[in-house]
Structure 1
Amino acid sequence: MSHTCGELRPDHVGERVTLCGWVQYLRHDLFVILRDFSGLTQILFPQEESASHLKAVLCDLTVESVIKVTGTVRQRPAGQENKGMPTGEIEVLAENVDVFNVCHKLPFEIKDFVKVRG
């Protein structure tokens, strides 16, 4: 691991990094939000045919799975920044993904905004 998920900023653009963490969200078969103790980073999975092995990994992932991602930090496209995330100006373009553990369906959601109904 070269960095934590919460430390990447625009100063890191162009750097090749390795992050480890839990899958927080999966979006549009394109993005993973990766979480560790320090924060969140958006991981972009390339859509080119040459990266089909990465798409296959993405298809098998579930929330709370544990992965290691190696890729290059890049600026998010204009208008796609997330001002609510400290790392919201950048994303990591995945080059390699190792799955350490696939999480089975949990009996409840692990999210800050889920409220207990009583």
Structure 2
Amino acid sequence: RPKGTDFSHAPRDAEWEEVQLKKQLRQIEDKMAKVEEAARRRRDRGGRREDSRPALVKRELEQLMDYKRRELRKLENAEGEVKTGQSLKAFQDDIAIVKEQVEGLEAHLRKREAVLQDLRDLIEAEKAGGR
């Protein structure tokens, strides 16, 4: 395979680096010019919906990223819904309180069911005695 203009194995010096960087700069400037020209053409023809859709998606994704960053910052600064100082003990205490409330309600239900059964027994006794 002939070497031709393949200088990948040639020693690199500052002058060579400068030439390469200038070449890359020209390529980037050409790309920028093409993008700016395309944007100008879109603007000139009123920017149809399909042209603005990628911009809308980009804006929404940037907003989502900003939101996620704010949430992360809140969590890091203990300002989020779950604060850093809130330990497992706090959650266990909340669970214990709810358990106590449930047990109290169950006890009340059992008492009311006993009263209801007493009333049913009384009604049955009256029905049997009144015949």
**Fold shared per TM-score above 0.5:** no
Higher helix proportion: 2
> Shorter-normalised TM-score: what interval?
under 0.3
Max radius of gyration: which structure? 2
> What is the TM-score of this pair, normalised by structure 1?
0.18
> What is the TM-score of this pair, normalised by structure 2?
0.17
Higher strand proportion: 1
